[in-house]
Amino acid sequence: MEETPGWTRPSAADATGSSAPAPPGWSVPNAYPGPPRPTRPKPGIIALRPLGVGEILDGGFATVRRHPRVVLGVSFVLGALVGLAQMGLAWWLSDVGSVLTSSAPRSSAGGETLAVTAGGVTAALISYVVSSIFAALLAGFVTVVVGKAILGRIPDGRESLRETAKRWWPLLWVSITAGGLPFAPFAAMLVIGPLGIIPALAIGVYLWGKLALTVPAFMLERRGVGASVARSWRLTQGAFWRTWGLRALTYMVARIGALVVAAPFAIPTYNALANDQSPSTTAVVMAAIGSSIAWMLTEPFVAAALTLIYVDRRMRAEALDLQLAHAAGTASTASTLP
């Protein structure tokens, strides 16, 4: 076939930039590459394809960074309520501890220590329950926000709050179920004795991974409590350790961040306790403020990252990325994931 004038077939010299022949075993690069490969769209906070570890963590931060008024606004209100509750709890237990200490028998060895320890354990348990209740509400809200942000929508705070409030009581129950079941074996351990430590730890670790996706499934798929638990169980099938590891990494990053933020506020309290003194009112207030700020900044990240772990798992197991690309391109008003 006669070649078109002015067009010459590229030679090895043209491709390599020298007159030497191409090395044996090497092919001459195509001087006229084909069309570029299509890339997955990124309408929102993540690209619509299976995610890497860094992308999941970055997506958690991006949720807060791109929508600070919506996310941090609600988080600030709930964090302030957590701080007030913990402050009131600290003062109440301080009074109760003083009564218990003064009434402890002086003749019994360790009476005061036992009273103080009991007060500390009670404070920790009540504080955990209070924090968990508010964290459940925030997790549901942030999950809704992430579901919209993935599709490229600008989340509306009031709309997202209404969606969360409609399912508040079931959300609380599903959060208690998913958060409490991994620790249930340790209650049985108290009956069995020390021999039950290893089985309880193994069962708790297993449940913590299998139930990791319960809340996102509940909020984004509109399922019931039992169905959400079963859904998380199925989604983690074949990807248990990846899910467990991602969840653990998320919590580790959040806890380190919370410690860095809250530690300076707690210095007066630490100094008082180190000198066997009761913390002053100012110290209690400062510690509560630091705890609230840390909670406000880290809990939205945890909820967002956990939602992205759920989305990544569905992309890998159910090709959710293709459904999301279609929803983002043809249904910009969609408010939930397919």
SS (H, E, C) 163-190: HHHHCHHHHHHHHHHHHHHHHHHHHHHH
- Domain annotation covers residue 163: yes
Q: What is the C-alpha separation between 321 and 315, in angstroms, rounded?
A: 5
Task: Report pLDDT digits (tens) over 191-234.
Answer: 777 778 888 899 999 999 999 999 999 999 999 999 999 999 99
- Domain annotation covers residue 158: yes
Hey, is 27 helix, strand or coil?
coil
Our count of domains for the chain comes to 1
Other Cβ atoms less than 10 A from the Cβ of 167: the count is: 15
Q: Which amino acid is at 17?
A: G
- Domain annotation covers residue 192: yes
- Domain annotation covers residue 289: yes
Q: What is the C-alpha separation between 195 and 198, in angstroms, rounded?
A: 7
Provide the H-helix boundaries in the chain: 12-16, 53-66, 68-103, 111-150, 157-166, 168-180, 184-192, 197-210, 214-221, 225-235, 240-262, 267-274, 281-318, 320-330
Which DSSP symbol is given to 9? P
**Residue 120: per-residue pLDDT:** 58
**Residue 188: per-residue pLDDT:** 77
**Residue 22: per-residue pLDDT:** 43
**Residue 123: per-residue pLDDT:** 64
**Residue 187: per-residue pLDDT:** 78
- Domain annotation covers residue 306: yes
**Residue 157: per-residue pLDDT:** 84
**Residue 107: per-residue pLDDT:** 46
What is the per-residue DSSP string for 115-152? HHHHHHHHHHHHHHHHHHHHHHHHHHHHHHHHHHHHTT
- Domain annotation covers residue 22: no
- Domain annotation covers residue 336: no
b/e burial code for range 281-313 (CB count within 10 A of at least 16 → b): eebbbbbbbbbbbbbbbbbbbbbbbbbbbbbbb
Between the two ends of the chain, the Cα-to-Cα distance in Å is 54
Segment 18-27 long-range contacts (CB within 8 Å, at least 24 positions apart): none
- Domain annotation covers residue 8: no
Q: What is the C-alpha separation between 76 and 159, in angstroms, rounded?
A: 18
**Residue 264: per-residue pLDDT:** 93
Instruction: pLDDT tens for the chain, 338 residues: list them.
Output: 444 444 444 454 444 444 455 444 444 445 445 445 456 678 889 999 999 999 999 999 999 999 999 999 999 998 888 878 777 776 776 655 454 445 555 445 445 555 555 555 666 677 777 778 888 889 999 999 999 899 888 888 888 888 898 898 999 999 988 988 998 888 777 777 777 888 889 999 999 999 999 999 999 999 999 999 999 999 999 999 999 999 999 999 999 999 999 999 999 888 888 887 777 878 878 888 888 899 999 999 999 999 999 999 999 999 898 888 887 765 444 445 66
State which residues form the domain around 115. Answer: 52-102+110-325
